[in-house]
Structure 1
């Protein structure tokens, strides 16, 4: 089983990398981009057969290591 975790900065948290990308896109002539939020995607290969338990385990991984829940939110997909 595979799991995909998408981690993004929470709304309202300054995203300097996203702002740098937005600025660079404007410099390259892409003038219609008004905002960029940058995050990360983590894919996990799981040795699990119970989908609900796998999702609960991945959420626990996010809470303990994969995301800084003070400033980041995350979304878990079991594939």
Structure 2
């Protein structure tokens, strides 16, 4: 519960901080944040690409989707 409340408090502070920034700086910060998120997503994708547990999970999900499409229900894992 505390973590959730801290997220809201931090969001309020961030909103107030962004109001004091110039438009140019806000645009730069937004672009930089997006770039960081893209880099982190790429890293996670690389880690997941080599993970046997993730490959197994994806295969199980595909199997369930195919079964659902065919009208057959598979038990949950």
TMscore range, shorter length: under 0.3
Higher normalized helix content (fraction of residues): 2
The structure having more radius of gyration, on CA atoms, is 2
Higher normalized strand content (fraction of residues): 1
Q: Considering Cα pairs closer than 8 Å and 6+ residues apart, tell me whether 1 or 2 has the greater RCO.
A: 1
